[in-house]
Amino acid sequence: MSPREQEDTPTSGSSPSHLSTTECPAHNGNVPDCDDKRRINEDDDRGREKKEVEEDERSSDEGFMGMTPLLQAHHAMEKMEEFVHKVWEGRWRVIPHDVLPDWLKDNDFLLHGHRPPMPSFRACFKSIFRIHTETGNIWTHLLGCLFFLFLGLMYMFRPNMSFVAPVQEKVVIGMFFLGAILCLSFSWLFHTVYCHSEGVSKVFSKLDYSGIAFLIMGSFVPWLYYSFYCSPQPCFIYLMVICILGLTAIIVSQCDFFATPQYRGVRAGVFVGLGLSGVVPTLHFVISEGLIKATTIGQMGWLLLMATLYITGACLYAARIPERFFPGKCDIWFHSHQLFHILVVAGAFVHFHGVSNLQEFRYTAGGGCTDDGSL
């Protein structure tokens, strides 16, 4: 083949639209027919490429449902990463109950205003200052915790001359403050971070339930100390019993099933039962001191008020009242868990007031006891 023939022959792989000049007849030294053919062929090529792209996009969209589970999981992970990034930047929005993951579904009568899963502690703590279903739960016990911390520090720094036995009395009253502060601290922390992840939710829910047991045990200590001040043996026995029952409740609350919505009534029953174990020492006190003395000097009225507040709160929590009767109307404020929190703080303060009156009576009466061991 001559060199000129090689130049005129199109190479393999070249586009058919690129016609050589030998294929185009020349008219007065120009090649207008060749230009027209080349333009037509280029338009055809662009049309074919556009059609292929559209077909690829269509097949991609239609093929998502036909993806393998591995590819679907990868696509879901990409979406989750994008969502987490938005949460990290603080751009999350509250969502309805029906789109929550199962581990965040606790009360199906609260229809709207829930936080989404937020796997960032920073985002969880920033959500304290946003309005959602947990806002009231967080702040009722956060403020209550700060209140009892301040009150406890004031009481511990009271002058020793205000007590008959300063060290003993500050220790036993300090046990009450310790129980109250642990309960309220674990509670507001749980309600702050429980949307972080399923694992974090389980850990802090167990701390939350343990805190309730600590509050109940701590509440018994000063009351038993002052009520049986002159009868140390029954006081010691009752303290041992309540400690054993409290530790049992804590152990039971560490089981994963204990935190599930199906066991809501069981949870309330365990802690109400732990509190009602105080009925036995109460009857002992009333029988030994007499009803009048028990209700005046023994501050039995305040004790009964405290029990009423605690039990009422537990019943509202277990029955999910009032949101059970007004679904969607109490999503943000005044639902059962918030009322339960408020009644717990009120009950703890009522108990402290009664114990303070017992301490004042002991200080007035002095450290002596009668021969029959009565107050």
Q: From the annotation, which residues make up the binding site?
A: 191, 337, 341
- Decide if 310 contacts 275 (C-beta within 8 A): yes
CA atoms within 13 A on the CB side of 48: 6
For 55, the 3-state DSSP assignment is helix
Per the annotation, binding residues for Zn(2+) are 191, 337, 341
In the 8-state DSSP scheme, what is residue 320? T
Alpha-carbon distance of 7 to 22, in angstroms, equals: 10
Name the nearest CA neighbour of 104 among 115, 92, 93, 119.
115
Alpha-carbon distance of 15 to 40, in angstroms, equals: 13
The most distant pair of C-alpha atoms in the chain lies apart, rounded to whole Å, by: 141
- Decide if 352 contacts 346 (C-beta within 8 A): no
User: What is the Cα 85 distance to its own chain's centre?
Assistant: 21
Cα–Cα distance list, 300 to 217, 218, 369 (Å):
18, 18, 20
In the 8-state DSSP scheme, what is residue 369? -
- Decide if 333 contacts 323 (C-beta within 8 A): no
User: What is the sign of the dihedral through the CA atoms of 201, 178, 314 and 323?
Assistant: negative
User: What is the sign of the dihedral through the CA atoms of 273, 275, 278 and 282?
Assistant: negative
CA triplet 205, 210, 198: central angle to 5 degrees?
A: 15
359: amino acid identity, one letter? Q
In the structure encoding, which two tokens stand for residue 39, read together?
Answer: 């333009």
Peptide linkage before 234 cis (omega within 30 of 0): no
